[in-house]
Structure 1
Amino acid sequence: MVVDTTYYDLLGVTTDAKSIDIKKAYRKKSVKEHPDKNPDDPLATERFQAISEAYQVLSSEELRTKYDKFGKEEAMPQNGFEDAGEQFAAIFGGEAFSSYIGELTLLKNIQKTQELSEEDERAKEQEANEKANKESNASSTVEHGNNSTVQNSDVDNRGKKLTANEETVSSEPKKKGKLEEFEEQQMLDKEKSIEELSRTLSDRLSILTESSYDDACKESFDRKFEEEANMLKMESFGLDILHTIGDVYCEKANIFLKSQYLWGIGGFYHSVKAKGGLVMDTVRTVSAALDAQSTMSALEKLKENANSDEPLKDENGNVIEKPTVEELTQLEQLLMGKVLSAAWFGSKFEIMSTLRSVCDKVLEDETVDVTTRIRRAEALKRLGKVFRKAYRTKIEQEDAQVFEELVAEASKKSHKHHSSSTAKKQ
């Protein structure tokens, strides 16, 4: 018997709800109660936090058991509840894909990189000021010494000592900044992650490569990962991530397999084609980021104009109406969508980079013979095709995460805004 149903009531599920139903309910409720969707409701943040706490408890088998038996007080996470916004953002991509793509760190480290860069700049300024003060003091000492002929010899000696000290300092290895140390650690962590992901992928492929490798085994392999894809596709951006994984797997498998035949000409062609795709991915990522930055600048300017006591004028000096609260709210929602769109493109770029490194490690593994590597490539291609074919039904699409809805909404508004602007210019 469940002693408290508050968390179940918050999510609108029964006490015997399955974990997948709890996740779906959380998604729907979090979309409905997200503060950005309810800018005029002062209680929206409070409800959003309550929904987040309910999900954090009910999504954990251990905490849910404690909650059912003893209630809220005994079901607190060991380190306390996560902030609702952080919990919400953590679903981006979901942990379900971690064994395929590892931890996404690109976006997470942007702020950390900025903070460390600023710290290093302050440290450099402080060091420069201290050096300037030392040089100033040394200069004063030398000038004072020049006033006495008796002290000339001592001044020369001090000058020599000063020069010797400067040479000693310059010969010492340059101290690393915090940002440089952080970036080196990130590289080491990435290498370790790729090593682990490579072992995991090899194990997945071995289900087929180390079997009797007949048609029945191949069909069984496909069915196994079709079932897995059906679970993964419902994660936030799950379908996009599945298709991205599928594309990279097929791309890398084709390059390897073609390189084994026709003197590698086919593999070279696919490799060049893949590099062309990488350039386009880079362009899309940068474009999305610039689009979000442009919208952010426009929003800041509008807010500044709205809060200014001075009348707002157009290019010709005519007084025009200031932006309304509704217009600012609409632009804020548009900005959120564009920021999420940029975040997705950045995450996708990181995912593809990681996957390519992992595939290379698996397919170029010289500890196994060529026949095994060819089988690995063939199995990788099969797995890629399975993930490529994954799709959502209409009902499943309606359960898609808020991030996808906001990005789609932002894309539509951006397109309409662009069309409207073009029409006005014409």
Structure 2
Amino acid sequence: MVVDTTYYDLLGVATDAKQIDIKKAYRKKSVKEHPDKNPDDPTATERFQAISEAYQVLSSEELRMKYDKFGKEEAMPKNGFEDAGEQFAAIFGGEAFTSYIGELTLLKNIQNTQELSEEDERAKEQEASEKATQQAHNLNNNNNASNGDDDTKSAEDSTNNGTAKKLTSGGDDSSNPETKKKGKLEEFEEQQMLDKEKSIEELSKTLSDRLSILTESAYDDACKESFDKKFEEEANMLKMESFGLDILHTIGEIYCEKANIFLKSQYLWGFGGFYHSVKAKGGLVMDTVRTVSAALDAQSTMTELEKLKETANSEEPLKDEAGNVVEKPTVEELAQLEQLLMGKVLSAAWYGSKFEIMSTLRSVCDKVLEDETAEMSTRIRRAEALKRLGKVFRRAYRTKTEQEDAQVFEELVAEASKKKGHKHHTSSTANKQ
């Protein structure tokens, strides 16, 4: 007997739903209700948070049992609910991949950067307003003192002029770039750089430990086979995470790329390594293009949808170039475009996250392979082991049944990618209104 069904209702699942169904439902709902997808809805953030809380309780066997028996009050996590944005970030691999790629912060940082930038801008405007008020006050004092003693007037003028100069320049120290007060955005960016360096250091240590399973063994065929089998088993678990297969293949690609560059640089006077390095840089350019392109595509579709909604809600008739009245977009057509937009927003998020993953992996591999505290023979073994591990991850695949269980978000992204450049058939007429 379940005393409260609120959380089940929020996710749209039965009270006896299996964990896999709860996870699928959460993924669909979190994408649909994400605030970025509903910028004009002031209640979107609240709904998004409620869905996150429901999932955090129902995805835990212990909390779910308490919730079913006693309700919400007894099902609160010990450390409180996690931030809904962090829960949404779990769409791309979740915690399962943290020891390989670290925490994905790109999407979260974009939002923080925008908020801090706006906050700094408001602070600058307020400071400028206060300076202008103070300058006007000082000038007024100078005029009032014009009938006073000459010496006093001269001293006051000197003082007020000095004060005005200080205010104009932002004070004695502010004219010096080294002592200029940092804005919140600058402080945030500096902290992010420090956090990233720390993360790279920790991930590098973890990767070295993984590779040492082989590099510090007898290093014979039996050890290599055992190494491959161990990580094949790990890959079989990781592949079932959301976007898990894509992340595994991405990790494998970068591992093989960096290992090849290092190994080839040891032979043929380094020409082989140079070739692979140039090839990798070409791939980096394409990754950047795809990331930006996906973001622009999502933005374009969002703009198109907003115009279509305005058209549908307008009392004015919709006309084509010849002035003929044409049908407005139907509710079904708007719903189809909303579904496409959902996929494109997710696609942009995936490409952005993938770009961050690849950047992190390259830095981690460089730190492991260019470690000057290790002998060259050790580093060569590391590169060979890294390549083996990369190949294991690149070979990972899902069976048809496994794919059906894990592809909730992948389907949306695939559909959005397939329809990239697709223009809703009413959009051209909507723009002519």
Greater shift in the superposed pair: 310-319 or 330-339: 310-319
Residues 1:31 and 1:202: Cα distance change in structure 2 (over 3 Å): closer
- Aligned pair 1:221/2:227, yes or no? yes
Query: Could you tell me which amino acid in structure 2 is paired with residue 389 of structure 1?
Result: R
Query: Which residue of the partner structure matches residue 10 of structure 1?
Result: 15
Query: Could you tell me which amino acid in structure 1 is paired with residue 107 of structure 2?
Result: L
Query: Could you tell me which amino acid in structure 2 is paired with residue 366 of structure 1?
Result: E
- Aligned pair 1:399/2:405, yes or no? yes
Query: Could you tell me which amino acid in structure 1 is paired with residue 172 of structure 2?
Result: T
Deviation of the 1:228 alpha carbon: 0.5
Residues 1:350 and 1:3: Cα distance change in structure 2 (over 3 Å): same
Residues 1:320 and 1:284: Cα distance change in structure 2 (over 3 Å): same
Query: Which residue of the partner structure matches residue 368 of structure 1?
Result: 374
Query: Which residue of the partner structure matches residue 416 of structure 2?
Result: 410
Q: Determine helix, strand or coil for the equivalent of 2:420.
A: helix
Deviation of the 1:133 alpha carbon: 1.5
Query: Which residue of the partner structure matches residue 168 of structure 1?
Result: 172
Tell me the distance in 1 between the aligned counterparts of 2:31 and 2:374.
Answer: 54
Question: Is 1:256–1:267's contact at 8 Å kept on the other side of the alignment?
Answer: yes
Tell me the distance in 1 between the aligned counterparts of 2:80 and 2:29.
Answer: 22
Query: Which residue of the partner structure matches residue 18 of structure 1?
Result: none
CA RMSD of the aligned region, Å? 3.5
Question: Is 1:29–1:51's contact at 8 Å kept on the other side of the alignment?
Answer: no
Query: Which residue of the partner structure matches residue 243 of structure 2?
Result: 237
Tell me the distance in 1 between the aligned counterparts of 2:344 and 2:324.
Answer: 32
Query: Could you tell me which amino acid in structure 2 is paired with residue 311 of structure 1?
Result: P
Query: Which residue of the partner structure matches residue 339 of structure 2?
Result: 333
Deviation of the 1:332 alpha carbon: 1.1
Deviation of the 1:418 alpha carbon: 8.6
Aligned identity (percent) is 78
* Aligned positions of 1:11-410 closer than 5 A: 12-13=17-18, 22=19, 24-30=20-26, 36=32, 56-57=56-57, 59-60=59-60, 62-63=62-63, 74-80=74-80, 87=87, 90-146=90-146, 150=150, 152-159=153-160, 161-162=162-163, 165=166, 168-171=172-175, 173-410=179-416
Q: TM-score, normalised by structure 2?
A: 0.83
Tell me the distance in 1 between the aligned counterparts of 2:14 and 2:309.
Answer: 39
Query: Could you tell me which amino acid in structure 2 is paired with residue 119 of structure 1?
Result: E
Residues 1:68 and 1:127: Cα distance change in structure 2 (over 3 Å): closer
Could you give the per-residue CA deviations for residues 89-148 of structure 1, whole angstroms, max 9, x where no partner exists?
533322100000000000011111111110000001011111111222222333444456
Q: Determine helix, strand or coil for the equivalent of 1:211.
A: coil
Residues 1:331 and 1:133: Cα distance change in structure 2 (over 3 Å): same
Query: Which residue of the partner structure matches residue 17 of structure 1?
Result: none
Deviation of the 1:203 alpha carbon: 0.4
Q: Determine helix, strand or coil for the equivalent of 1:263.
A: helix
Deviation of the 1:181 alpha carbon: 0.6
Residues 1:60 and 1:33: Cα distance change in structure 2 (over 3 Å): closer
Tell me the distance in 1 between the aligned counterparts of 2:110 and 2:174.
Answer: 33
Could you give the per-residue CA deviations for residues 207-230 of structure 1, whole angstroms, max 9, x where no partner exists?
000000000000000000001001
Could you give the per-residue CA deviations for residues 176-235 of structure 1, whole angstroms, max 9, x where no partner exists?
111111111111111111111000000000000000000000000000000100110111
Q: TM-score, normalised by structure 1?
A: 0.84
Q: Determine helix, strand or coil for the equivalent of 2:419.
A: helix
Residues 1:335 and 1:240: Cα distance change in structure 2 (over 3 Å): same
Query: Which residue of the partner structure matches residue 19 of structure 1?
Result: none
Q: Mark the runs of 5 or more structure 2 residues left unpaired by the alignment.
A: 34-45, 429-433
Query: Could you tell me which amino acid in structure 2 is paired with residue 158 of structure 1?
Result: T
Query: Could you tell me which amino acid in structure 2 is paired with residue 25 of structure 1?
Result: D
Tell me the distance in 2 between the aligned counterparts of 1:399 and 1:158.
Answer: 76
Tell me the distance in 1 between the aligned counterparts of 2:4 and 2:116.
Answer: 46
Deviation of the 1:154 alpha carbon: 3.3
Could you give the per-residue CA deviations for residues 256-281 of structure 1, whole angstroms, max 9, x where no partner exists?
11111122111111111111110000
Residues 1:84 and 1:353: Cα distance change in structure 2 (over 3 Å): closer
Deviation of the 1:385 alpha carbon: 0.3
Tell me the distance in 2 between the aligned counterparts of 1:298 and 1:266.
Answer: 48
Residues 1:400 and 1:11: Cα distance change in structure 2 (over 3 Å): farther
Residues 1:193 and 1:382: Cα distance change in structure 2 (over 3 Å): same
Tell me the distance in 2 between the aligned counterparts of 1:32 and 1:245.
Answer: 26
Q: Determine helix, strand or coil for the equivalent of 2:106.
A: coil
Question: Is 1:27–1:402's contact at 8 Å kept on the other side of the alignment?
Answer: no
Q: Determine helix, strand or coil for the equivalent of 1:255.
A: helix
Residues 1:344 and 1:390: Cα distance change in structure 2 (over 3 Å): same
Tell me the distance in 1 between the aligned counterparts of 2:280 and 2:175.
Answer: 46
Tell me the distance in 1 between the aligned counterparts of 2:52 and 2:133.
Answer: 54
Could you give the per-residue CA deviations for residues 141-164 of structure 1, whole angstroms, max 9, x where no partner exists?
334444567354234433454367
Tell me the distance in 1 between the aligned counterparts of 2:340 and 2:277.
Answer: 38
Deviation of the 1:67 alpha carbon: 6.9
Q: Determine helix, strand or coil for the equivalent of 1:338.
A: helix
Q: Determine helix, strand or coil for the equivalent of 1:252.
A: helix
Number of aligned positions between the proteins:
405
Q: Mark the runs of 5 or more structure 1 residues left unpaired by the alignment.
A: 14-21, 38-45
